[in-house]
Amino acid sequence: MNHCGTKRLETERLILRRFAAEDAEAMYKNWCADSEVTKFLTWPPHKSVEVSRSVVQKWVDSYANDAYYQWAIVPKALGEPIGSIAAVNQNDDTEMVHIGYCIGRAWWHRGYTSEALRAVMDFFFDTVGVNRVESEHDPENPHSGMVMRKCGMKYEGTLRQAVRSNRGVCDASWYALLRGER
């Protein structure tokens, strides 16, 4: 893979960019403090903006690594982050990236997550040169699977009691798209 780090991406309605220290308050306010947003995720809601500051600083420091990919999802009309999308796992040997995403409840069902995922998938296929982009979701969160299907990912199966989230041990429905299937 041709690792090049998190690059600024732009879509019709979004700017996907690196996080900056000053994003912590928007991060806390817009999605990280909401237990409904984090219900299906592996990290708990942030108890204070200080937790968000610490997380953002860790991400900012990680941008020094060319194999690190973490974007702030910023609607052009708003100008502040409403969520994040990242390569949460990758395997250079098989040329695979695993994408995770999260968006604030106020922006659900508006197509922002699909728009961001599509742009990130294109970046990984066209710029980084991956062969496989994959993701997974809790079957109790079917809207996440709808995002994956809308972006062309194919359902590969559900692993029973395979992951732990804030709901406890749960199933994981897996989706992927291969470079040759685009």
Does some domain include residue 181? no
CATH code for the domain of 50: 3.40.630.30
Half-sphere exposure of 24 (CA within 13 A, CB side): 17
Does some domain include residue 163? no
Full pLDDT tens readout for the chain, 182 residues:
999 999 999 999 999 999 999 999 999 999 999 999 999 999 999 999 999 999 999 999 999 999 999 999 999 999 999 999 999 999 999 999 999 999 999 999 999 999 999 999 999 999 999 999 999 999 999 999 999 999 999 999 999 999 999 999 999 999 999 999 99
Does some domain include residue 139? no
Residue-range definition of the domain harbouring residue 34: 9-134
Does some domain include residue 25? yes
Rounded to 5 degrees, φ, ψ at 107 are -115, 10
Q: How many domains does the chain have?
A: 1
Number of neighbours of residue 101 by Cβ within 10 angstroms: 22
- Taking the model in full, what pTM does it have? 0.96
Does some domain include residue 71? yes
Does some domain include residue 164? no
Q: DSSP secondary structure string, 89-142?
A: EEETTTTEEEEEEEE-GGGTTSSHHHHHHHHHHHHIIIII--SEEEEEE-TT-H
Does some domain include residue 179? no
